[in-house]
Amino acid sequence: MDHREKRRWNRNILLLVLVPVLIAAILFGMTGRGPKPEKAERPSESGGETTAAEAMQDRAEAEQKQSDTGNNAAAPMQMISFTAEAGGAQRSVPVQIDASILGGEAGSKCWAVFLPAEMAAHPRILVYGAESVTLGSHTYRTGDEVAGLENGSCVAVTMEMKDGAGYSEELHVFSCTGTATMYLDTESGSMEKVDADESKETSEKAEFVIFEPDGTQDSKGECMVSGRGNSTWSMQKRPYNVNLAEEQSILGMQACRKLCLLANTFDMTNLLNRVSSQIAADLGMRDTPQGEFVNLYLNGRYNGLYYLAQRPRTGGCVHIDSLDNEIRKANGVQDFNNLPKIRTLNEEGDKLKKWAYDWPNEPADNTGGYLLQQYSNYEGDEPWFSTEYRRFRIMSPSYPTVGQVEYISDYMVMAEHAVYSDDGKDPDTGRHYSEILDPDSWEDMFCLEEYFVEWDGERWSFYIIKDRDDPCLYCGPMWDFDHSAGSMMYGNYPETAVSTLMFRDSRHGWLHKLLSHEEFTRELYTRWIERISPVVHDYLDNRFEKEAAAIESAACMNNIRRSNDVDYREVTSALAEWMQRRADFLDDYAAEKKKGNGQDDADAYCRVLFRFPWGNISHYVRRGEKLGYLPLPEYGETQVPEEVEKNEITGWKDEDEKEISPDLVIDRDRSFKPLYRQ
């Protein structure tokens, strides 16, 4: 039987045993016969108020009973946990990890406890199911401060259970410094329902508490937690959305309600989302999401290092006029519990699609605000529309009216016509794209995504804002930069990406088309040289190393929990080097373009186009220089396992089907195709 059937079977057996006992207990209590029942509250040993240690014992037992109702039956090792202070909200329960990460046998498990910053120096123990527990040579009771739990140590755990049985095990101890801690406790005591929902629509009520590294409580409250993400949702370390019951400031961020816990599963440095958003904030880019790192404990169990960030939503980091309020007023509703039907606004066979809610009344002003997400090939249940070349989900308003969808879709079609026209003007209105798109925000976003080679750029996590009484479409907020710096859906190609031009050669959206307008490219090169590059170099010179050092111990703890066999300093140093080389390339390329007034300079760079089976990546080489590498594992360029299984690339060939080498001199634009293992 599967695990759900086992739980139902065990529950039924338990009921068969307990029901007669409960009935007897009630009868004895009513007649005054039988033993006197224990008090619900523990009497103090001192005869007065309950001591701190006794309170901690009560909480330990209550938490363990709650844990028993979750998806893990309590193992003896989980009958202990650690906390920071008497009566505090913190707790860390031992968890099983892959022993191979500690040099053990592959596939075997061992027990580990992960102590967050505010607990590491003076941890106290909570005990349930035994009178005491011995760690090493010292015996402790609930509430005692524990000595000798050094980072990286291994202690022998022995305990005598209340039924007289003995138990012994080894416990590996890991701790960190300098990173805040978030405790998230769900109402059920488990994340099973949330984690089991592949649609990510299941949410559960929870309480959260956040502590600064020194133990100061930063914030607390109630929230709803649910799943999020696409490819990351299939990983063991899952990302989550967190909707606070009340708007509040978390870890110094601007007050909001909508946050998310980014797992950074594909980013071994854990830094790409943080660094990119900080550079965006330094540039003053609109509605840039704020975020801070936290060690996340789900129902007492350490889940890993997360980036707690404002979501790119109204109620998160996006600040626009609320059309949701206007819809409520126009239709006389207090909430959105009873929604009208959603219907298509286009005829069957029409190329342009439109979906909206069929509200009876329209607000008086539908000019904004709108938050749109460009989403390649979207055909979901939420309101969306298509232009000739793109598809957009309407993220705000939440349940748009027919008039609102008609307005914003027509506006986006007008903008697209202007961008795609030869003279930059919409043929119907005569408006130039620079009158419709906010130039600064589009140039900044182009430069930021191009610099990081953000592989999802202008396909999925790409947002556009149209505010009320404002004719401009703003590009932003920036979001989701974990697939960057050479990390792509199909592999890792940092050497290729260090001198690629992504929007010129690998994308075919609005940003690519804007490059066909001379005034845009001219301003773009100037903006990089005078505005973006100085900010990037300043960040690399003065802040990157501090950011990496701040989470080093937390990242190492996360890597052990998640069996990531990587050297943190090595991967962060590699990222810093990549960012520096990337900035140097763009500096030089932009300077050459400025010299040629934006025209292709025959004496500067040649384009090498690597034609992968899933798309093209360009790599620019100074004319007359050697290629110097090939997109192969020996040069640090790797395919993801799924791609290796389909077609493992073992070499590259030129236009004449001849295999090439890294010593090939590039004196003209070239195009290369892969050789596959036979």
Per-domain boundaries in the chain: 1-38, 320-516, 602-678
Three-state DSSP class for 479?
coil
Instruction: Tell me the residue type at 336.
Output: F
Query: Whose structure tokens read 């219907």?
Result: 343
Architecture of the CATH domain 602-678? Roll (3.10)
**CA angle, 489 then 281 then 296, to 5°:** 60
Separation CA 304–CA 556 (nearest Å): 10
**Per-residue pLDDT at 602 exceeds 80:** no
Long-range Cβ contact pairs of 579-584 (< 8 A, separation 24 or more): 579/275, 579/485, 579/536, 579/540, 579/544, 580/540, 581/498, 582/451, 582/452, 582/453, 582/485, 582/497, 582/498, 582/499, 583/451, 583/533, 583/536, 583/537, 583/540
**CA angle, 59 then 63 then 66, to 5°:** 145
The pLDDT of residue 7? 36
Separation CA 181–CA 214 (nearest Å): 10
**Per-residue pLDDT at 194 exceeds 80:** yes
Which of the two residues, 198 and 2, has the higher pLDDT score? 198
Tokens of 154: 């291994």
239 with 232: CB under 8 angstroms? yes
Tokens of 543: 């802040």
Instruction: Say which residues have a Cβ less than 8 Å from residue 230's Cβ, sequence separation at least 6.
Output: 460
Which of the two residues, 278 and 594, has the higher pLDDT score? 278
Give the percent of the chain with pLDDT over 90.
Answer: 79
For residue 71, name the pLDDT band (cuts at 50, 70, 90).
Answer: very low
Separation CA 357–CA 400 (nearest Å): 6
For residue 277, name the pLDDT band (cuts at 50, 70, 90).
Answer: very high
Least confident of 43-52, 179-188, 511-520, 632-641: 43-52
**Per-residue pLDDT at 137 exceeds 80:** yes
Q: Could you read off the pLDDT of 290-304 as tens digits, one per residue?
A: 999 999 999 999 999
The pLDDT of residue 61? 54
The pLDDT of residue 378? 82
Least confident of 52-56, 335-339, 469-473, 673-677: 52-56
Spatial CA neighbour of 265 closest among 546, 495, 563? 563
412 with 374: CB under 8 angstroms? no
Q: In 260-350, where does DSSP find H-type helix?
A: 272-282, 323-331
**Per-residue pLDDT at 617 exceeds 50:** yes
The pLDDT of residue 14? 36
**Per-residue pLDDT at 42 exceeds 50:** no
Neighbour order of strands in the sheet with 95-98? 95-98, 109-115, 166-175, 154-161, 130-135, 138-140
The pLDDT of residue 49? 43
Q: Could you read off the pLDDT of 503-528 as tens digits, one per residue?
A: 999 999 999 999 999 999 999 999 99
For residue 677, name the pLDDT band (cuts at 50, 70, 90).
Answer: very high
For residue 38, name the pLDDT band (cuts at 50, 70, 90).
Answer: very low
For residue 415, name the pLDDT band (cuts at 50, 70, 90).
Answer: very high
**Per-residue pLDDT at 341 exceeds 90:** yes
Spatial CA neighbour of 342 closest among 387, 390, 302, 382? 382
204 with 111: CB under 8 angstroms? no
**Per-residue pLDDT at 70 exceeds 50:** no
**Per-residue pLDDT at 28 exceeds 60:** no
Instruction: Say which residues have a Cβ less than 8 Å from residue 549's Cβ, sequence separation at least 6.
Output: none
Separation CA 595–CA 589 (nearest Å): 10
Separation CA 398–CA 327 (nearest Å): 10
Q: What is the pTM of this model?
A: 0.89
**Per-residue pLDDT at 30 exceeds 50:** no
Give the percent of the chain with pLDDT over 70.
Answer: 88
Instruction: Tell me the residue type at 587.
Output: D
Spatial CA neighbour of 314 closest among 105, 463, 426? 463
Provide mean pLDDT across the span 386-408: 96
**Torsion, Cα of 538, 544, 550, 553 (10° steps):** -170
Helix (H) or strand (E) holding 139: strand 138-140
- Average pLDDT value over all residues in the chain: 89
**Per-residue pLDDT at 29 exceeds 70:** no
The pLDDT of residue 348? 81
The pLDDT of residue 60? 53
Which of the two residues, 621 and 40, has the higher pLDDT score? 621
Q: Can you give 363-375 as a three-state secondary structure string?
A: CCCCCCCEEEEEC
Q: Could you read off the pLDDT of 87-109 as tens digits, one per residue?
A: 678 999 999 999 999 999 999 99
462 with 390: CB under 8 angstroms? no
520 with 446: CB under 8 angstroms? no
The pLDDT of residue 376? 79
Query: Whose structure tokens read 């709803």?
Result: 224
**Per-residue pLDDT at 394 exceeds 80:** yes
**CA angle, 623 then 627 then 630, to 5°:** 155
